[in-house]
Amino acid sequence: RLANAVTPLWRLPYQEQLQVKYESQRKILQALASRLEELGIDAQKPGGLCCPLQPVVPSPIINGYRNKSTFSVNRGPDGNPKTVGLYVGTGRERNIVCVKASHVENIPSKHKQVAQCYEEFICRSPLDSCILFHEGGHWRELVVRTSRCGHTMAVVTFHPQQLRQEALATQKALLKEFFTCGPGAVCALTSLYFQESTMTRCSHEQSPYQLLHGAPHIFEELLGLKFRISPDAFFQVNTAGAEVLYQAVGELCQATGDTVLLDICCGTGTIGLSLAHQVSKVIGVEVVEKAIEDAEWNAAFNGISNCEFRSGKAEAVLPQLLASWEDARPLVAVVNPSRAGLHYRVVRAIRNCRAIRRLLYISCKPEGEAMRNFLELCCPPDPQKKLAGEPFVPVLAMPFDMFPHTVHCELVLLFTR
């Protein structure tokens, strides 16, 4: 049941998985064409698509490709409330159970090893796991990040409840001892972090990540560059797949030596930095401050001097940046937002900036909020919505399989005007 929930295509041969994903992307492009027709835009291409669809680009690695895994703590099938794994069931039906992920094919063995050791640690602890915040308990989820450089970072989330600082310090010392001198030492952690969190998700600003052991960052190599990764920084979950994706993005940008590349939702700067040698300048925008710090470090470490990074919400930074844009150089935009898509003010700023003639939208969920963005980019000018700029037209769709065994796909849509 867990394999079916987390990796629903795991039983299919890989070529069949790619075909399933191709069909799902085709339906998305058909839906976009229909929605554009409703707006009075003739977008029907052969097959009822809004633009040509390329075959799904396969992932270079099919099993154990994830470089980041998040494990929950909850009751297992045997009733053990300190089971570390992934969920089966739903909150609505009140049948959630936490199942060890030892057989799940997209998770690497190192992540499974750290999860097993964390379970052993919390089972030895006199403190309860925190299943429902209001019912007490402390031990919560575990995030494991690894890199091709052989680095492993573990981040333990802990609900402090009413514990005093001395008691907290004791728990941190015990956790560190277990992973450095005890049974957990087999994991050979590069970094061990601890975060006290009274919320489901906490940013570093809300509750700082506390380094208990090792280096503050792990490092990854991608397209000949070295990248520094913080506990909460975004990095594509499939590193080998990301290399293929970024190389294709570089080709689709058609950037020349005088192009300025606008990298929106840039994370640790991977896209902009990997394409910096093709363009005259890269401007990255990212809301996570620690990711911007990583991006700046990455640029300096790799000797890349034509990149600048702006910290803040894209909807605050971008309108200001583009409203006063007077640079005569060609401007190409690449956007890689979360599943929530782009804020309307970001789309409006892109539409109203005449200098942007080419836009690449990378979406991990094109059928979701990204669809709203596609329509906003392509609809006729609308004075009421302050969309004055010439509309974009989708000209090519290229799906990338970044998530083998799952139904998900990373879709790159190229828009021009």
Average pLDDT over every residue of 73-83: 95
Average pLDDT over every residue of 109-123: 98
242 pLDDT more than 90: yes
Distance of CA 77 to the CA centre of its chain: 30
pLDDT reported for residue 326: 87
Per-residue pLDDT tens for 323-368?
A: 888 888 989 999 999 888 899 999 999 999 999 999 999 999 998 8
CB neighbour list of residue 312: distance below 8 Å, 6 or more residues apart: 285, 287
User: Residue by residue, what is the 3-state secondary structure of 137-160?
Assistant: CCEEEEEEEECCCCCEEEEEEECC
**413 neighbors 363 (Cβ within 8 angstroms):** yes
What kind of fold does domain 68-221 have according to CATH? Answer: OB fold (Dihydrolipoamide Acetyltransferase, E2P) (2.40.50)
Give me the helix-helix angle, 369-378 and 344-351, nearest 10°: 30
pLDDT reported for residue 400: 98
Average pLDDT over every residue of 214-240: 93
Per-residue pLDDT tens for 90-100?
A: 777 778 899 99
67 pLDDT more than 80: yes
411 pLDDT more than 90: yes
| Distance, CA of 34 to CA of 232 (rounded, Å) | 38
What SS3 class is residue 267? coil
Per-residue pLDDT tens for 278-306?
A: 999 999 999 888 889 989 999 999 999 99
Band of residue 408 on the pLDDT scale cut at 50, 70, 90: very high
The residue with tokens 């039906």 is: 93
Per-residue pLDDT tens for 159-176?
A: 999 999 999 999 999 999
Instruction: Tell me if 296 is assigned to a ligand binding site.
Output: no
pLDDT reported for residue 233: 83
Nearest residue to 415 via CA among 395, 391, 389, 388: 395
pLDDT reported for residue 5: 94
pLDDT reported for residue 212: 98
* CATH 3.40.50.150 residue ranges for the chain: 14-60+238-416
| Distance, CA of 265 to CA of 350 (rounded, Å) | 14
**370 neighbors 397 (Cβ within 8 angstroms):** no
210 pLDDT more than 90: yes
Average pLDDT over every residue of 53-82: 97
Band of residue 385 on the pLDDT scale cut at 50, 70, 90: confident
> Which tokens sit at 86?
């992934």
Instruction: Tell me if 120 is assigned to a ligand binding site.
Output: no
* CATH 2.40.50.1070 residue ranges for the chain: 68-221
201 pLDDT more than 80: no
Mean pLDDT of the chain: 93
Band of residue 206 on the pLDDT scale cut at 50, 70, 90: confident
**317 neighbors 285 (Cβ within 8 angstroms):** yes
Best CATH choice for the domain 14-60+238-416 from the list 3.40.50.720, 3.30.360.10, 3.40.50.150, 3.90.230.10: 3.40.50.150
46 pLDDT more than 80: no
pLDDT reported for residue 324: 84
| Distance, CA of 280 to CA of 304 (rounded, Å) | 11
Instruction: List alpha helices for 278-332, DSSP H.
Output: 289-301, 314-323
Q: In Å, what is the CA distance from 306 to each residue of 184, 280, 292, 378?
A: 43, 7, 15, 31
pLDDT reported for residue 43: 74
Instruction: Tell me if 286 is assigned to a ligand binding site.
Output: yes
Q: Which residues are designated catalytic?
A: 364
